[in-house]
Amino acid sequence: MEIRSLALTDFRCHASVRMSFGVTPGSGIAIVGDNATGKTSLLEAIYLLSRGLSFRGSSPTDVIRHDCDHALVVGEFDRLGEVTRVAVQRERKQLQARLGPRRDASVLDLARALPVQVLDPRAHRLIDEGPVHRRRLLDWGVFHVEQSFIQDWRQFQRLLRQRNAACRQRDVTQLRVWNPAYVEYSRRIDAARQRHLEQITGLWAEHVNALIGADHSAKIHYRAGWPKGVALEEVLASVEQRELDAGHSVVGPHRADIRFQLDGRQVRHQASRGQQKALVLALLLAQVEVVSIQLGDPPILLVDDFGAEWGASMRARAVQQLNDSPVQWISTWLDQPESTLAVGQMFHVEHLGGAAP
């Protein structure tokens, strides 16, 4: 999949922006500009078309330009030779989305149709912060390669809410009623995650060595959310009183985690911020390769503040790895990329126009 055009109206600092992207096989697209000029907002707009929200973690309405009623983003995407027009309008109280001829597309529809991933300056959170970030990244890949995953996940979330309500009410009978279905959907989610990890772990290790530039032993360790080698039914029975006291479910796939190991040591204990960023890029590249095979069409990869934390040699290796991958990649840069880097198309934010002071 490739984006062909992007149009923004009243989005962040941009009053009106129009961009056309050429076909750039084996090279990326760079958006160059000073800080606070709105270059990250352009990536954010593409992400919004795919997810219905921002990757910045801010309030949904923050994308609306000051004193405006709504923000509008329109993009054209080429999927296997067929161009699809996507429009998302963020209003103060709701989101409206159009996907091709559909006027009432859901966020799920957008996510399925437009697989997009992002590497932003907060990538280190995947390494050194809580498991929610790692689960979210893992589940993005599973969502795109396992057709039944979203239904299983939704059913599990419903069961989790019901179990948690029973825990808060200290209703042992009701808690036990939900356990069989809870176990079944927990196992389905766990199995899908493990299958995806088996697909990406070897690829991740290859990208790690290509990026860091040495022969490292890179491994991913998975924790299901309950003790390894013990049936979940047994675990639920053993923690029943603990869950009643806590008022919520303490074991299950919502507590799963993955940890990254390099040469036998936990990455978060030894890797610099630059290395952490490279390790996350390696994981994204592994995921998009697997997703590309499953979908028959590669996702789009966004890289915000490309040069941050990386020296010249790391930037060169990262560009090479991206160019060798099947994805269209779009990046932002504070300074213009070196002439030796194979970046196919370049935009300067100050030449786009339409930015508010």
Judged against a pLDDT cut of 50, whether residue 357 lies above it is answered with no
Grade residue 58 by pLDDT with cuts at 50, 70 and 90.
confident
Grade residue 24 by pLDDT with cuts at 50, 70 and 90.
low
Torsion over CA: 56, 57, 62, 63 (sign): positive
- For 298, the 3-state DSSP assignment is coil
Task: Domain ranges for the chain, please list them.
Answer: 1-114+311-357
Query: What is d(CA 225, CA 53) in angstroms, rounded to the nearest whole number?
Result: 28
Res 213: pLDDT: 79
CATH number assigned to the domain with residue range 1-114+311-357, chosen from the 4 options 3.40.50.80, 3.40.50.920, 3.40.50.720, 3.40.50.300: 3.40.50.300
At position 107, the amino acid (one-letter code) is V
Res 106: pLDDT: 97
Average pLDDT of the residues in 99-117: 96
30 token code pair = 């760079």
pLDDT, tens only, 194-229: 999 999 999 999 999 999 977 889 999 999 999 999
8 Å CB contact between 189 and 253: yes
Give the start-end residues of each E strand in 63-203.
Answer: 70-79, 82-91, 95-99, 116-119
CA-closest candidate to residue 276, choices 116, 133, 136: 133
Residue with tokens 């095979």: 293
Query: What is d(CA 141, CA 316) in angstroms, rounded to the nearest whole number?
Result: 26
What are 76's strand-pairing partners? 5, 85
The secondary structure element, H or E, covering residue 336 is none
Query: What is d(CA 63, CA 13) in angstroms, rounded to the nearest whole number?
Result: 9
> Counting Cβ atoms within 10 Å, is residue 357 exposed (0-12), middle (13-18) or buried (19+)?
exposed
pLDDT, tens only, 154-167: 999 999 999 999 99
Average pLDDT of the residues in 91-115: 96
Judged against a pLDDT cut of 70, whether residue 354 lies above it is answered with no
267 token code pair = 């990455």
Res 107: pLDDT: 96
pLDDT, tens only, 224-256: 999 999 999 999 999 999 999 999 999 999 999
Round the average pLDDT of the chain to a whole number and report it. Answer: 94
Res 214: pLDDT: 77
200 token code pair = 């990406």
pLDDT, tens only, 320-342: 999 999 999 999 999 999 988 98
pTM of the model: 0.94
Residue with tokens 């990538």: 123
Judged against a pLDDT cut of 50, whether residue 60 lies above it is answered with yes
Percentage above 90 pLDDT, the chain: 89
Grade residue 356 by pLDDT with cuts at 50, 70 and 90.
very low
